[in-house]
Amino acid sequence: MIVVYTSPGCASCRKVKQWLKDRNIPFIEKNIFKILLNDSEIKHLLMRSENGTDDLISKRSKIIQEQRIDVDSMTLDELVQFVRKNPSVMKRPIIISENNFQVGYDDEEIGVFLPKELRSIAAHQCTPDCPNYKACGQVREGKECEKRP
């Protein structure tokens, strides 16, 4: 199952949710301000990210800038507690599935969250005369295109 960590007012979060909805891909949304992350979730996100704090923590966030906090010098436990108390320091959206992890919205990269059965449809370039043009173009219904070369 795909989990999307979001926050209110985040345009990229809205784009990710809409992209998933448009393709009928089920997901769980976790608003990081309503549902506070527990220690194991934060550690799991850090473990899954390629670059640790660089991928997950916004060094431009207000609290980090104002208090001149160096997250790279924190122990893991200190970092986890800091994020729990200050979820606004996390970059958003964070999209995670069993096999994939992405921070932010990227038109090209988000395709990794397409189920395998829809990837061939997404890669296929339909023409307007295709009977499944809308489904193929929008990767919505999972129908095979009848006019494949």
Please state the pTM of the whole predicted model.
Answer: 0.79
Q: Per-residue pLDDT for 143 more than 70?
A: no
Counted residue by residue, the chain has a size of 149
| pLDDT band per the 50, 70, 90 thresholds, residue 137 | low
* Whole-number Cα distances in Å, 71 to 44, 49, 87, 132: 17, 16, 13, 50
Percent of the chain scoring above 70 in pLDDT: 81
Assess contact for 76 and 47: CB atoms under 8 A.
no
pLDDT at 149 over 50: no
- Beta strand 27-31 with 2-6 is parallel
Q: Which positions are catalytic?
A: 10
Omega of the bond leading into 93 within 30 degrees of 0 (cis): yes
Beta strands in 32-93 (DSSP E): none
Q: Residue 148 — very low, low, confident or very high, per pLDDT cuts 50/70/90?
A: very low
